[in-house]
Structure 1
Amino acid sequence: MTEGDDAATAGWDAIRAACTHLYPQQEPRHYGSSLPFGFDGNPLDGISAWKRAEPIPHRHCVGFGLTDLYSKDSEDEEASGHGFELTFRLRCDPADEDPPGWAISLMQNLARYVVTLGNALRDGEWMARNGSIALDTDTQLRGLAFVADPKLPPIATPNGSVAFVQIVGLILEEMEAGKHWQTRGVLAALLPHLPLWITDLARASLLDRPDVRDAVETGRDRDGSSMGMLFVPTVACSQQGDPSAPRH
């Protein structure tokens, strides 16, 4: 799928334009779906990945398919489709040409959850995985949080508004801290050492840092716990399976 010049691809073109504004000199790698979702295909029509050098080298992946990319199909007059598209920032070697396959599968699986159950993924929510977020890798990341993409603000399209919700890989200890305080607060405490909330498979728990742990403990003592808002059990991590439902 490429950009079109007419209203038939107005939603797609608006998202692509927002990304082009962010990366004006770069043509992304694009990973399209060969079959529509209703014919055993993937829920996202495609995923584009841009390479960014700052603040650390990473791939910025953006999904196309949770919003009305073509005609206005959703009943909500204000929002386009489900109202958001998924993004994912993954640390990479500057020489890498493509994001790993597991990252593309993860975005498709999350989109499948949204499309199948009709549940949005919102800023400040999290979900656990029964295993690594990246199969066959040696990583401590066992969960996901969701945050408004820090460089892609919401946009208006001819088919309604579109927000961009970024996936963030978390370690179990960090998720536990979110349960006893709030996910958004923990993410804010991690940010000085996790710029742009870039997922880094090789990292250790940031709660090992005294400044991060102090910030989390101070916030928890001040605000109390969000445990009362947790619901829905964890499901197994699978290359083809759906993730668990989000938590706050």
Structure 2
Amino acid sequence: MSENIEASGWNAIEGAMVKLYNEQEPKHYGTMIPYALGGQDPLDGISVYKACKPLPHWHFVTYGFSELYEKESDNHDFSGFGFELTLRLARDEQEEEPPAWALNLLQNMGRYVFNSGNILAPGDYLDANGPICLGSDTKLTALAFIEDGELPALHTPNGRVEFVQMIGITEDELEAMKTWSTYGLLEACQELLPAHITDLARESMLQVPAIAEAVQKGIDQDGSNTGFLYVDQLSFKPGKKRLLHRSPAELSLGAKQAGTVGKLLRGRLMKGKNLTLSSQDLSVILMPGEESSYEASDKEIRLTLAPEVITELSSLMQPREEVLRLASYHDLMIHIIKTHIKDQD
């Protein structure tokens, strides 16, 4: 880094890590060619520290989601995207180098954020569509996000920066977070998941009866905190008047999300809460009401569902390709289509 470049954002992050690890010299992995100049890696760098408590692990911290040098954005409250990612990864005491797959995973998260503009915040989750460590047999196939417990938010000259810790989770843990709460599940698991350290070798926490019971109790009592669900395959065709009848409207969505939507209908609409399904081109807002109806525009569908429709839909929706015709609402048909996943990117 040139001495002539003002690096107040970088220095603020580095200062926070010095407070935590004193004189420990981190292993730092920089980027040769900047992303803006055609480089493959969007993050300017990743530093990795050896941590010993509550058990040996690597502590990764990114440099690049926030504004590291001069202020460029017009938002003076937040620096860049307003966060940096951290990851705590279980480490053998004899291990001297952090695994390369974890560095690649963090850079992949950078590509996701930079390309989509989606900000990662505590409480979020993300399906990785396969093992978070490519080629391994780990059960961890998704990610959750929470505040890093040892790194409070920074107020830098470029704006606020939060440290958001990324945690590897299993498929059924992801489903529990969707249908209940990210924080609820992680709190139920806190004794078995100290410092939210990611361990590729672990099994699902839901295999522990007490945790599974706590999750089910939470779902029954609280419903779901998931008010927004991204659905990559989503479309809506309004019904049309025919000579003697009206054809039903058709809501289409991918099979991968259909089972989750069925559960969220119980956890959201049956609790009096809305649920928004969103793709790049369309938002479908599902709302509870006394009578079923819909309002359609080019970019947004507002679909009100009566209690009997919610009950029927939640029992019928499964992650398989099929057409659902509702006995309780003849003006709506649900088309569950095959989900195509090209790769883990």
TM-score when normalising by structure 2: 0.66
Greater CA drift, 140-149 or 213-222: 213-222
Q: 1:192 offset after TM fit, Å?
A: 1.5
Larger proportion of strand? 2
The unaligned stretches of length 5 or more in structure 2 are 233-255, 257-340
Q: Which residue of 1 aligns with 2:56?
A: 57
Shift in Å, 1:226: 3.7
Name 1:96's counterpart in structure 2.
95
Measured at CA, do residues 82 and 175 of structure 1 come closer, stay the same or move farther in structure 2, by a change above 3 Å?
A: same
Aligned to 1:27: 25
- C-alpha displacement at 1:211, in angstroms? 2.1
Helix, strand or coil for the counterpart of 1:134?
Answer: coil
Q: Which residue of 1 aligns with 2:125?
A: 126
2:183 is aligned to 184
Deviation at 1:218, TM superposition (A): 1.8
The SS at the match of 2:7 is helix
Give the secondary structure class of the aligned counterpart of 2:142: strand
Given that 1:132 and 1:237 are in contact with CA atoms closer than 8 Å, whether structure 2 keeps it comes out as: no
Residues 196-231 of structure 1: CA distance to partner in whole angstroms, max 9, x if unpaired?
111000000111112211221221121012454222
C-alpha deviation, 1:106, in angstroms? 0.6
Aligned to 2:160: 161
Which residue identity does 1:144 align to in structure 2?
A: L
Q: Could you tell me how far apart the structure 2 residues matched to 1:93 and 1:131 are?
A: 24
2:13 is equivalent to residue 15 of structure 1: yes
CA-to-aligned-CA distance 1:52-103 (integer Å, 9 cap, x gap): 1111110000000011100011111111111000111100111212211110
Larger Rg: 2
Q: CA deviation at 1:236?
A: 5.3
- 8 Å CA contact 1:130, 1:236 repeated in 2: no
Number of positions where the alignment pairs a residue of Structure 1 with one of Structure 2 = 237
- The change in CA–CA distance for 1:10 and 1:121 in structure 2 (over 3 A counts) is same
Q: Tell me by how many angstroms 1:126 deviates.
A: 0.6
Aligned equivalents of 2:193, 2:164: Cα separation in 1 = 17
2 CA distance for matches of 1:120 and 1:156? 18
Cα deviation, 1:20-48, whole Å, max 9, x if unaligned, reads 10000311000000010122321110000
Kindly provide the amino acid, as one letter, of the partner of residue 43 in structure 2. Answer: L
Task: State whether residues 33 and 45 of structure 1, in contact with CA within 8 Å, keep that contact through their aligned partners in structure 2.
Answer: yes
Sequence identity (%): 46
Q: Larger relative CO (CA 8 A, sep 6+): 1 or 2?
A: 1
What's the counterpart of residue 39 of structure 1? 37
Q: Does 1:73 align with 2:84?
A: no
* More deviation, 209-218/105-114: 209-218
Q: What aligned pairs does 1:82-231 form with structure 2 within 5 A after superposition?
A: 82-231=81-230
Secondary structure at 2:190's aligned position in 1?
helix
Q: Distance in 1 between matches of 2:228 and 2:188?
A: 21
Q: Point out the more displaced range, 71-80 or 221-230.
A: 221-230
Paired letter, 1:212: I
What displacement does 1:120 show?
0.2
User: What secondary structure, in the 3-state scheme, does the structure 1 residue paired with 2:191 have?
Assistant: helix
Instruction: Give me the whole-angstrom Cα distance separating, in 1, the residues matched to 2:95 and 2:342.
Output: 30
How many angstroms does 1:237 deviate by? 5.1
More helix by share: 1
Kindly provide the amino acid, as one letter, of the partner of residue 23 in structure 2.
Answer: Q
Alpha-carbon distance in 2 for matches of 1:7, 1:156:
20
